[in-house]
Amino acid sequence: MNTEKKDVATLIELLKMAAERWPHVETDHVLQSDLFHEDLSLLEMWPEACRRTGAGKREFPPAVIKLWKQRLGRTN
């Protein structure tokens, strides 16, 4: 399996893990601190998602981190 497919499979598993951990309630307003906390938790869960998908030890995809920074209003 190529790198991109491994990242996608692992990100899907990570999202499943997150959905189990935080069943979201629909709200109109989400605090930026809550988004940051969830993002940090996702980073911490990444190794387990890699293990579950058999992807081995992998670096968290930089493109996802870039999207998070944009969502939080940071460009660096």
Extents of the domains making up the chain: 3-22+31-71
Q: CA torsion angle for 39, 16, 46, 32 (degrees, to 10)?
A: 0
In the numeric block, which tokens belong to residue 32? Answer: 């930026």
pTM confidence score = 0.74
Position 36 scores a pLDDT of 79
Longest dimension (CA), the chain: 39
The number of beta carbons lying within 10 Å of the beta carbon of residue 34 is 12
Q: What pLDDT digit, counting tens, does each position of 21-55 carry?
A: 877 666 567 677 777 788 889 999 999 999 999 98
